[in-house]
Structure 1
Amino acid sequence: MSDLKKMYSTILGDQFPMEMTITFGEQKLVYKKRTWKISQPDGSVDERGVRYGENPDQEAALFELVNGNLVLGDCHYIEPGNGLVSAIEVEDMLQVGKHPGKINLTDIDNGLNILKYLMDKPAAVILKHNNPCGAAYGSTLADAFNRANRADRIAAFGGAVVMSRPCDKDTAEMLASNYLEVVCAPEFEAGTLEILKKSKNLRIIRMNRIDRLAEFEKYRFVDFKSLIDGGIIVQQSAVNSIRSIRDLKPATASWQGKEYQCDREPTQQEIDDMIFGWAIEHGVTSNSVLYVKDGCTVGIGTGEQDRVGVAEIAVHKAYIKYADILCFDKYGIPYADLELAITKGERKMAEKEEIDAKVQADRAGLPGCTMISDAFFPFRDGADVGIKEGITAILQAGGSMRDFETIEACNEAEPKVAMMYTGQRSFKH
């Protein structure tokens, strides 16, 4: 075990070259390896790249695009000079904490991938293992982070936080009261670093280009997937084109000569949550189903093989997280600690029963949520999972042969559920 702990704290190093060139026919993209000169505890300065890859025994390197303007067909891919994560300088690491590894960097990157659609308001995204565990708008940045954190306080432990506005003292105080690996913001206001640096291992990263993050909506990049035989699949990066009510389509279907349509139109708040939820969906591993309400995630189901299963998982997670935050608010401890204390005879079962009753009465905050599905429902059973919990609206891709069943599910609900289509799916693997 001691050797494993040492692996986690060791900078592995890498054998990758300082420059990499990828050729597309006669066009070339040139990349430069990113390294940082970081002061060590003994006073020496060590120049290293990425700490290690996904695991401590995997060498890894970060490369920034520095030359080449790739055009394939009518697609102009992102040009050099737009670096975000790949352009982090040592001066941007306001506190290095543990030397950054691949997972830290890809969590920040996916946070930016989501946040680029949420730049109109203060927003915060908390990520773990390249998936959001909480995301929210807020009246202030502190409010946004607090809402995102309360959506899943359990998974946020050891997470990466990416924010759309400069970090202020109120937000810093909230951040400092949680165990986090990474905090990233466009700037850190006076007095915030003293608060955040109380956690010595916290990586604090300033990324001033976040102020221009909305511009990245229009950029495409080449997305590479390497195969175990050394081959590569390349694709264009995904673009979220669902940005307003004008991009949504009515839920209609035809089946055996009969026309179907949803009886109820969505409210403005439901439309807002559809747009918000689809932006979050853009950064969630598929198959996925989300529940969102008032610009905040309530339950996030990720990476499941069947759609009804992931809808159920998202509900299950919502119930667990709701019980945990109720327990934390009332007793200052996690729900799991309360259960353990009861088992040991240190607390009363009535305390747990009170929380459980509240969770069931509130149905984990799911009533009034909008359900977001990254692809169509092949059968109505997925939608029925959310309807049973009191969701009031659904956004899905549409296009299933059995869309009429899901429309019937919405119309049969009491009260009726609104539904809209995106006309596009949002898979991410």
Structure 2
Amino acid sequence: MNDIKKMYRTVMDDHFPEKITIEFGDQKLKYRKRTWKLSDDKTGEVIEKGLRYGENPGQEAALYELVKGHLELGGCRFLEPGYGMVSAIDEAAMLQAGKHPGKTNLTDIDNSLNIIKFLLKKPCVVIVKHNNPCGVAYGDTLAQAYDRANMADRIAAFGGCAVFNRAMDRTTAELVVQNYLEVIAAPDYEAGVVDILKVKKDLRIIQIPHFDRLADLCQRRFVEFKSLNDGGLVVQQSPLNAILKVSDFKPAVATHQGVEYRTRPANAAELEDLLFGWQVEQGVTSNSVLYVKDGCTVGIGTGEQDRVGVAEIAIYKAYIKYADALCFKKLGKAYKDLELEIEQGKAAKALKDEIDAETKTAKGGLIGAAMISDAFFPFRDGVDVALRQGIQAIAHAGGSLRDFESIQACNEAQPPAAMVFTGQRAFKH
């Protein structure tokens, strides 16, 4: 066991080169490897190394920043140097290194930024674990946004990465240190805040470089590489999100056998939740469906093979997370801990029954929520399972031969639900 623990704390050497040049015909992109001079968390010795390890201990890894060159292909000018955020994190930006950063710490920050770049108009917090969001929320204050994002899925957020879109204040920091996080990142930290956070010795505290340029990335493409098992590469443009404001949504309209089908219009509050959810979808592994209510995620279903299945999983998660949040607020403990105490005869079953009844009545917080899918619904079954939970508005790509059936399902619901199309899908693999 001690050997396993040692593996997770060992900072590996890597044998990747200091510089990489990638040629696209006669155009070149030049990259520089990022390393950090940091004190060893055990000995205090200053060492200069790059990533601690890759996705798992034993995997060498390296981080590279684009430093020279630009690429233009087919009229698309890709992102040029000067926008470095995660790849530009240096010692000055690493306010506390905690355990030397590894690959997943930085890719979690990166995907959080991929979501939060669309959510800058109000205080917002994105909590990511294993490169998928656990909870995302707006708030009237940053502290409220963090509390809502954390309580959306307290259990998954444990050991996660939280990214903030405003300078962190003392109130927010005092909430943060009540929980266990691996990484926090923000554009800045108010006076005295870092000292509050440093009570967590292993916490990585990051100040994001060039955060003021984050919004620019919403409409800029970069080159994506996917490595294949045979050593080959798939190269693609990064996606562009076409839905940046509520007016970008398209009415859900379909024609079948000469009959036009459409739903009632979504109201202003519903459109805001649909927009919020679509922005979160940009960072969720596909096939995915998520539910949003009042600017906060309620249930997030990720990476499933069928759309009705992932819609059902997100509902199940909404119920479980709602019950856990209730249990924590009422009893100061996790729902699963309460279940165990009941099995051991240390707690009354009536406590759980009360929480279960309240969760069932609220339908896991889904009544009046919005449903967002990263692609169209091939059948109405995915829509139907959500409507039974009281979902009132749905956004998906549109374009299915059976769109009319999904629209019918919305019109048959009591009360009827609204639907909009995005006109694009948001797959992320």
TM-score (norm 1): 0.99
Paired residues for 1:72-111 under 5 Å: 72-111=73-112
Whole-angstrom distance in 2 between the partners of 1:34 and 1:368: 47
Whole-angstrom distance in 2 between the partners of 1:55 and 1:412: 49
Show the counterpart of 2:424.
424
SS class of match (1:220): coil
Show the counterpart of 1:329.
329
Contact (CA 8 Å) 1:119, 1:213: kept in 2 or not? no
Contact (CA 8 Å) 2:376, 2:400: kept in 1 or not? yes
The one-letter code matched in structure 1 to 2:253 is T
SS class of match (2:340): helix
1:131 aligns with 2:132: yes
Show the counterpart of 1:180.
181
Q: How far has the Cα of 1:246 moved from its partner?
A: 2.3
Q: How far has the Cα of 1:243 moved from its partner?
A: 1.2
SS class of match (1:303): coil
The one-letter code matched in structure 2 to 1:320 is I
Q: Deviations over 1:279-307 (max 9, x none)?
A: 00000000000100111100000000000
Whole-angstrom distance in 2 between the partners of 1:21 and 1:52: 23
Count of aligned pairs: 428
Paired residues for 1:99-248 under 5 Å: 99-248=100-249
SS class of match (1:90): coil
SS class of match (2:163): strand
Whole-angstrom distance in 1 between the partners of 2:359 and 2:384: 20
Q: Deviations over 1:75-117 (max 9, x none)?
A: 0000011100000011111111111000000000000000100
Show the counterpart of 1:369.
369
Q: How far has the Cα of 1:13 moved from its partner?
A: 1.6
Q: Percent identity?
A: 63
Contact (CA 8 Å) 1:187, 1:208: kept in 2 or not? no
Q: How far has the Cα of 1:208 moved from its partner?
A: 4.2
Show the counterpart of 2:273.
273
Contact (CA 8 Å) 2:219, 2:241: kept in 1 or not? no
Q: How far has the Cα of 1:121 moved from its partner?
A: 1.1
Contact (CA 8 Å) 2:83, 2:213: kept in 1 or not? no
Show the counterpart of 2:382.
382
The one-letter code matched in structure 2 to 1:291 is Y
Q: How far has the Cα of 1:426 moved from its partner?
A: 0.5
The one-letter code matched in structure 2 to 1:65 is L
Contact (CA 8 Å) 1:185, 1:208: kept in 2 or not? no
Contact (CA 8 Å) 1:107, 1:130: kept in 2 or not? yes
The one-letter code matched in structure 2 to 1:52 is Y
Paired residues for 1:283-302 under 5 Å: 283-302=283-302
Contact (CA 8 Å) 2:223, 2:237: kept in 1 or not? yes
Whole-angstrom distance in 2 between the partners of 1:139 and 1:378: 38
Whole-angstrom distance in 2 between the partners of 1:305 and 1:122: 34
Q: Deviations over 1:367-417 (max 9, x none)?
A: 010000000000000000110000000001000000010000000000000
Show the counterpart of 1:319.
319
Stretches of structure 1 lacking an aligned partner (at least 5 in a row): none
Contact (CA 8 Å) 1:164, 1:211: kept in 2 or not? no
Whole-angstrom distance in 2 between the partners of 1:249 and 1:82: 32
Write out the 4+ residue segments of structure 1 that deviate beyond 6 Å after TM superposition.
none
The one-letter code matched in structure 2 to 1:114 is I
Q: How far has the Cα of 1:257 moved from its partner?
A: 2.2
Contact (CA 8 Å) 2:88, 2:209: kept in 1 or not? no
SS class of match (1:13): coil
Of the structure 1 ranges 191-200 and 77-86, higher mean CA displacement relative to structure 2 is found in: 191-200
What is the aligned-residue RMSD (CA, Å)? Answer: 0.8
The one-letter code matched in structure 1 to 2:414 is E
The alpha-carbon distance between structure 1 residues 227 and 208, as it changes in their structure 2 partners (threshold 3 A), is closer
Q: How far has the Cα of 1:200 moved from its partner?
A: 0.6
Whole-angstrom distance in 2 between the partners of 1:354 and 1:37: 54
Q: How far has the Cα of 1:223 moved from its partner?
A: 0.4
TM-score (norm 2): 0.99
Contact (CA 8 Å) 2:34, 2:62: kept in 1 or not? yes
Contact (CA 8 Å) 1:379, 1:405: kept in 2 or not? yes
Whole-angstrom distance in 2 between the partners of 1:242 and 1:59: 38
The one-letter code matched in structure 1 to 2:142 is L
Contact (CA 8 Å) 1:166, 1:185: kept in 2 or not? yes
1:19 aligns with 2:19: yes
SS class of match (1:368): coil
Stretches of structure 2 lacking an aligned partner (at least 5 in a row): none
Contact (CA 8 Å) 1:373, 1:395: kept in 2 or not? yes
Whole-angstrom distance in 2 between the partners of 1:80 and 1:198: 36
Q: How far has the Cα of 1:244 moved from its partner?
A: 1.6
